[in-house]
Amino acid sequence: MRIRIVDAFTDRPFAGNPAGVVLLDDAFPEDAWLQNVAKEVNHAETAFAHRLPEGGEADWALRWFTPVTEVALCGHATLATAHVLHSTGAHQGPVRFTTRSGVLVATPAADGSVTLDFPTAPLTPAETPAGLADALGAEPLGVLDTGPNVGDLLVELADEEAVRALRPDHRALGAHSARGVIATARAQDPAGPYDYVSRCFFPNVGIDEDPVTGSAHTALAPFWSERLGRPDLTGLQASPRSGLVRTGLRGERTLLTGSAVTVIDGELLA
């Protein structure tokens, strides 16, 4: 079967967040095989999808695996999968994926970008855990829980420079949330090409720093839309690879828009 590596939330190769994408001919094989493929690919996520019978609530079934575990929600690997389906002609128009987080819709645009319709993360104020500032390497202004689908702590920092300068203790961060920590701040230049910055650290699922995280933006979108007074924003994830995510808050749903580029197209032999 074919396996592809796709850089998501970017319009150029070797940027954004790489994901493996495997389109299966039939139902999902055993979990151990899926996990071994994801471990072999060794990117933040590998997506596996297979076509569903016509007439149902979804067109394709979709699952996501990090190198060490299956996850409940992944934005960049969903974008990567939609990009593969549209660029290869395997699916035309909006595609509905059935996932552990419900039915997710990916809609292509004429410019090649894809908009994902994801559930908005519920944000709940939380006490700053003891030791979080030391583990992160910066003092939080505030901390919120992002709910079960995302599973992170959302941590606001003083400014963009503080986010970019983080050098966290990844092992220590793992004690503070189910998946990891999203660090964020308002953009230094309000008139610039992005409204807020973030970085995402997920040691509990084997990812010290994720390059660009779609699921995190389902929490970042409501957080910054409330503060900036606008439903439509652009976030920059300031990892070394970097990437832009356009977010649109629509109540209980959040729209995530980005581009993707296929960089490897090969054959999976195992």
What pLDDT score does 178 carry?
Answer: 87
pTM listed for this prediction: 0.94
Q: Is 181 strand, coil or helix?
A: strand
pLDDT score, position 86: 97
Residue 177 is predicted with a pLDDT of 86
Residues recorded for the chain: 270
Say if residues 243 and 9 touch (Cβ distance below 8 Å): yes
Q: Residue holding tokens 């807020």?
A: 196
- The whole-number pLDDT of residue 196 equals 98
Residue 239 has pLDDT above 90, yes or no: yes
Domains and CATH numbers, the chain: 2-117+258-267 (3.10.310.10), 124-251 (3.10.310.10)
Local structure of 132: helix, strand or coil: helix
- Give which of 232, 171, 226, 162 is closest to 199, Cα–Cα: 162
Low-confidence winner among 76-80, 176-180, 184-188, 224-228 (lowest mean pLDDT): 176-180
> pLDDT category, 158, cuts 50, 70, 90?
very high
What is the rounded distance in angstroms from the CA atom of residue 178 to the CA atom of residue 72? 12
Whether pLDDT at 65 is above 90: yes
* pLDDT score for 173: 92
The position carrying tokens 């894809």 is: 114
8 A C-beta contact, residue 65 and residue 207: no
Average pLDDT over residues 75-82: 98
Residue range 175-191: mean pLDDT, rounded? 94
Q: Indicate whether 149 pLDDT > 90.
A: no
Question: At residue 100, what is the residue type?
Answer: R
Q: How far apart are CA 4 and CA 20, in angstroms?
A: 6
Whole-number Å distance between alpha carbons of 58 and 103:
7
Q: Active-site residue numbers?
A: 45
